Structure 1
Amino acid sequence: MTSARGNRLVRLDHAVLRSTRRALGSTPAVPAARAMSHFGEHALGWIAIGGLGWLSGRRRDEWAAGVTGVVAAHAAGVVVKRVVRRVRPALHDVPALVSTPSRLSFPSAHSTSTAAAAVGFAPMLGAPVMATVTGAMLVSRVLLGVHYPTDVVTGAALGATVATVVRRRLLPRPVPTAGRKA
Structure 2
Amino acid sequence: MTLLDIQLFVWLNAVPGTPAWRIALAAAISNWLPALLVLLLAAMAAGRPAWRRTLWAALVSLLIAWVSVRVFREYLPMPRPAALDIGTQWLPQGERPGFPSLHATGAFAVAVMVLRLHFDRWGAAYVVAAALVALSRVFLGLHFPTDIVVGAMLGALIALVVERALVARQWRVLRRAAAPS
TM-score (norm 1): 0.77
Partner of 1:12: 4
**1:22: how far off?**
5.5
Identical amino acids, percent of aligned pairs: 26
Within-5 A mapping of 1:78-117 = 78-90=70-82, 92=85, 94-100=87-93, 102-117=95-110
Aligned mates of 2:26, 2:111 — CA distance in 1: 18
Aligned residues: 164
- Check whether the contact 1:17–1:142 (CA below 8 A) recurs between aligned residues: yes
Partner of 2:179: none
Query: 142, 149, 154: which is aligned to 1:146?
Result: 142
**1:50: how far off?**
3.7
SS of residue paired to 1:126: helix
**1:152: how far off?**
0.4
Aligned mates of 1:168, 1:25 — CA distance in 2: 47
TM-score (norm 2): 0.77
**1:102: how far off?**
4.9
Task: Decide whether aligned partners of structure 1 residues 25 and 149 sit closer, same or farther in structure 2, where only a CA change above 3 A counts.
Answer: farther
Within-5 A mapping of 1:150-165 = 150-165=146-161
Aligned alpha-carbon RMSD (Å) = 2.6
Aligned mates of 1:88, 1:106 — CA distance in 2: 8
- Check whether the contact 1:116–1:163 (CA below 8 A) recurs between aligned residues: yes
- Check whether the contact 1:120–1:163 (CA below 8 A) recurs between aligned residues: yes
Partner of 1:26: 18
Task: Decide whether aligned partners of structure 1 residues 84 and 129 sit closer, same or farther in structure 2, where only a CA change above 3 A counts.
Answer: same
Where do 5+ consecutive residues of structure 1 fail to align? 1-8, 176-182
**1:111: how far off?**
0.3
